[in-house]
Every structure is written in C-alpha cells, then in structure tokens.
Structure 1
C-alpha cells in the first residue's frame, strides 16, 4: 500500500496536546508516530507514518488542532515502506470481527489529502515560460502528426498534455470555491489555447491542408459518443489524480479530448475550410465542457471539500453556479449537434 509521512513541527510547550490528539485518533487511522527534539531546543518534530488513504482525515484533524496558532509547520512526503508493517489486512479482519471503531466511513474520501492535491494541481495551473514552451512544442508535434496522418506522433502530443493541468486546476478551484486558483487556471488555459490555435492557424494559412487525412477528418465532426468519451475520460483522469498519480501520466488518457481537435480547428481555419473548422471547434468546446463538468462532479464524489464551514458554503455556491453554466453550455452544444445532423 502507498504510505505517507506527516511531519509536525511544534513548540515544546504544545507537546502534551499534540500527543494526546494523535493518540485519540490513532486507533481509527491505524498510524504510528513518534516525537524527536530539534536542534533549536525549543521545538519538537512529530512524525506520523500512515496509509495514504488516511492522510486527508488526519490532515483535517491536525488543521483543526492548530487553527489557533501559527507556531507550527506540517510537511507531507512519501514513504516507500515501513517495518514493522502497517498491516491493513489485519485491521480489516478486526473490523469484520466486530471491532467497535468509531471512525467515520472513508469510502468517499480522496486517497491524497486536500493539501497534497492542491500543491500538485497548482504546479500545472500557473502560467510560466515552461508552460508556454510545452504548449508550443506539443502543438508542433500535433500539427506534424495530423498532417502526416501518423497516430504515433499524435499520441506524442497527447502525452505532453499541456491543457490538462489548467482544466484540472479549474475543476478543483470550483470545488473548493477558490477564486484565486480559478483565475490562475483560466489565465493559463486561455494562453495555452490561444498559442496552440494561433500556431495551428498560421501553419494552415502558410501550407494549407494538402490532403484531408483520416486523423484530420475524424476531428472535423462531433458525435454523441465523443461527449460520453470526454465525460468518462475526464472522470477517470480526476480519480487518478486524487490517487496521487502525476498529472503527466494521466495525459494520454485525457489529452485525447483536448489538443488534437484544437489543432485541427486552427489548421482548417487557416486553410479556409470553414465547415471543417467549425466541426473541430465544436468538438474541442464540447470536450472542454465535459471535462470540467465531470471533474467537478468527481472531485465532490471523492470527498474534496474545504474544511471550515464558511469555506464550504462559499464552495457550495461556486460549485452550483459553475455546474449550471457548464450544463447550459453542454445543452447548447448538443442542440447545435442536433441541428447539424437534421
């Protein structure tokens, strides 16, 4: 099983309170912990080793415990193994035999803590020169793959997945009601889309589309199965992210719905093929909407929510508003698809 280490640095004066809190929740979470003095002589370091699935609950308890002071620091990092083992199977057997554990059902809780997830998503949601370079490189790879009708090259562009991170960040920001992260993710996504589209349109204007390849053709139209694919792949991608898998590894699963249609739209528009450009643009828009709608829903199912009551209320309103907007946009796109086919 995946393990995490939570290190808590506190003043020595808080030793008894921290130890008592950790001991109270230890039977439910099944972790081990110990304390060590630090060199400054005024602080202690508590280290907690636990299953990754328990990290979110324990982090919430610690955040509530330390809400009244700023004289602490909590750091979470991965652990490869621990001896003696944290025997999860043994704990499950005890529960089946009637253990009177008072812990809450954790079935819907995300595998990684909210703080870990936020840190991972933030890295791919902020605009930087590295992100711009990644967008340009992946766009060039995708353009070559579509023009040459080479699936392997197109998959190479998918793996880079520059548009995935901002969309995941936008979904998480909506779920948490985090306006700052939402603005950052929208800005990064907008820059990525504009760069990719401008580069593709420029190539289409300069070179045209000498041949309507199969890979270009399939991205010039949108079907109802594409919407289902985007919803399912978006949900699967978010689940994998909450399990602690780096976003780049999920790219091949989700980028299928993002980069190639956008590149095809730019190429068609630059070459003056307006109906095909409209079809590719519709596919890209539908997949962006489905990805975000599925992302918000999956984060909620995974138990990703703010901790405080005030933040929960704010996040609830933001989630409802965003879900309404995405749903209306999806309904409008489905209406356009229906009109095009009838």
Structure 2
C-alpha cells in the first residue's frame, strides 16, 4: 500500500494538545506517530506514518485543530515502507465485523486534497517549460500526421501538454477556486493557440498528403468518441488522485487532445474547411468530456473544500460549470447530427 509521512512542526508549548489530538484519531486512522525535539529547543517535530487513504482525513483534523500562524508547519511526503507494517488487513476486518460501522469519511484511497492541489498546480501554471513542451509536442504531432505514422503520433500523445491545464480546470471547478480557474484556462488557451498556429502554418507551407489515414480518421467524430473521452477522462482523474503517474501514460494515449487539434490546423491551412471543422469538433468533444468526467470523478473521490462556506461556494460553481459543459456538449452532438445528414 502507498504510505505518507505527515511532519508537524509545532511549538513545544503545544506538545500536549497536538499529542492528545493525534492519540484521539489514531484508532480510526490506524497510524503511528512520534515526537522529536528540534535543534533550537523551542519546537517539536511530530511525524505521522499512515496509509495514503487516510492522509486527507488526518490533514483535515489537523487544519481544524490549529489556528494557522507562522509558528506551525505541516509537510507531507511519501514513504516507501515502514517496519513493523501498518496492519491494514486487521483494521479492515475490524470494520467489517463492527455492529455499527462508522460512516465512511471519504477514505477512497486517493491522495490528500493538499497533495492533489500542489500536483495539479504544477501543470496548470503557464511557464517557459510548458510553452517549449507544447512546441515540441506540436512539431512531433505535425510530422507524425503528415507522414501518416502512428508511432510518431503516439509520441505526441504521450507528451500531452494540454492534459495538465484541463485537469487543473476540472479541479478548480470542483473546489470553486477562481484563481486556479483563471490560471488553468490561461495556460490551456496559450497551449491551444500555439499548437493551432503552428499547425495552420504547416498546412499553408506543406499542404496535406492525399490518402492519409491518420488525418482522415481525425476529421470525423463518432458517438463512441464521446464515450471514449468520458471514460478516459475519468480514468485519468482517478490516476491523478491515486498519485500513480506511471498509469497516466495509457490515459494520455487514449484521450488524444493534440492530434485532432493539429489535424484541424493542417486542414485549415491547406484549405480543406469541411475536414478542418470535423477535426475541430473532435477536439472540442474531447475537451468538454474530459472536464465533465473530471468534475464528476473528483466529486466521487470526495475531493471538496474543508470549510462549509467554501463548500457552498464550490457547490454553486460546480453546478454552473457542469450545466455549461453539458450545454456545450449538447450543441456539439447537434452539430454531429447535422454533419451526418
């Protein structure tokens, strides 16, 4: 099982209060902890080793306990193993035989809200590295599509620079975080605009080859593409919340955002407007379905703000966003029906 270490740096004067709180929640969360004095003698370091599924609940309890000032600090980092092992099987067996089972507080096996936010924020902020990654992935995708080479196109899919800001947008919608929404949307807009401009330029200069299978299949949107985008988006969000980056590669390939966008630009640059519209429709369907599936999966994973007023604000923001994405998807389905007729 995945483990986390929560390190709490607190003034020595608060030792008894912190220890009492940790001891109260220890039977439910099944963690181990100890305290170590720091060099200056004024502060203590409490280290808590626990299952990743309990991290969010424990952090919520600590956040409610502390009046946050500069004298407190909590750091979360992964642990490879602990000996003796945390007896998770015994804990699950005890819960299964309980006469009055406790209500599930959201221990869904996901990483904590704070870890998730930091991970998503890293890929949602506009940076020089992000712009370079978009440039390189776009060039790889353009070459792959023009050469009708699946292996090269998969290389562009795996780079997947547009996936990060979309996940950030879905998380921001779930938490009602306006700042993260702005940053993720700005990053996504820059990435889409840069990739599209490069693709249009390549289409103007090089045109598009005839009988190109990879380009042709991305100029048509089927109803199965909607299902695929929804399922892949949900799988991607689960992978992110579990903190298992290696599993994300398959999602990047299944949920292809760059290839249809590049195909749209290539067709438009070469003057094939109908095919450009079809590829643009596929790209829009993938973006909308990813965000819809992302919000739904985050909610199902129990990712919500801590305070009640943030929860109320997030609930309203999530509802508005879900209605907007659903309306856009309905419009795109209508366009698909018109195109088939």
TM range (shorter): over 0.9
Aligned position for 2:81: 81
- Aligned residue for 1:211, secondary structure, equals coil
Q: How does 1:110-125 map to 2 (within 5 A)?
A: 111-125=110-124
Deviation at 1:250, TM superposition (A): 1.4
- Aligned residue for 2:6, secondary structure, equals strand
Going from structure 1 to structure 2, the CA distance change for 1:267 and 1:165 (only over 3 Å counts) comes to: same
In 2, distance between residues paired with 1:302 and 1:175?
A: 11
- Aligned residue for 1:239, secondary structure, equals helix
Going from structure 1 to structure 2, the CA distance change for 1:222 and 1:101 (only over 3 Å counts) comes to: closer
Cα displacement string for residues 59-102 of structure 1 (whole angstroms, at most 9, x for unaligned residues): 11111111354420000000000000001112222223337775
In 2, distance between residues paired with 1:261 and 1:48?
A: 47
Unpaired runs of 5+ residues, structure 2, are none
In 2, distance between residues paired with 1:291 and 1:67?
A: 38
In 2, distance between residues paired with 1:222 and 1:55?
A: 41
- Aligned residue for 1:184, secondary structure, equals helix
In 2, distance between residues paired with 1:130 and 1:155?
A: 21
In 2, distance between residues paired with 1:101 and 1:221?
A: 51
In 2, distance between residues paired with 1:276 and 1:120?
A: 37
Unpaired runs of 5+ residues, structure 1, are none
Q: Which moved more, 1:191-200 or 1:108-117?
A: 108-117
In 1, distance between residues paired with 2:100 and 2:47?
A: 27
Q: Does 1:144 align with 2:143?
A: yes
Deviation at 1:111, TM superposition (A): 1.2
- The answer to whether the Cα contact below 8 Å between 1:234 and 1:254 also exists between their aligned partners in 2 is no
Deviation at 1:249, TM superposition (A): 5.0
Aligned position for 1:315: 314
In 1, distance between residues paired with 2:99 and 2:118?
A: 36
Deviation at 1:257, TM superposition (A): 2.9
Cα displacement string for residues 47-70 of structure 1 (whole angstroms, at most 9, x for unaligned residues): 000000110111111111113544
Aligned position for 1:279: 278
Going from structure 1 to structure 2, the CA distance change for 1:175 and 1:67 (only over 3 Å counts) comes to: farther
Deviation at 1:150, TM superposition (A): 1.0
Aligned position for 2:170: 171
Aligned CA-pair RMSD: 1.4
- Aligned residue for 2:98, secondary structure, equals coil
In 2, distance between residues paired with 1:99 and 1:204?
A: 68
- The answer to whether the Cα contact below 8 Å between 2:53 and 2:107 also exists between their aligned partners in 1 is no
- The answer to whether the Cα contact below 8 Å between 2:288 and 2:328 also exists between their aligned partners in 1 is yes
- Aligned residue for 1:83, secondary structure, equals coil
Aligned position for 1:328: 327
Aligned position for 1:266: 265
In 2, distance between residues paired with 1:268 and 1:172?
A: 33
- Aligned residue for 1:257, secondary structure, equals coil
Tell me the TM-score normalized by structure 2: 0.97
Going from structure 1 to structure 2, the CA distance change for 1:100 and 1:9 (only over 3 Å counts) comes to: farther
Going from structure 1 to structure 2, the CA distance change for 1:189 and 1:68 (only over 3 Å counts) comes to: closer
Tell me the TM-score normalized by structure 1: 0.96
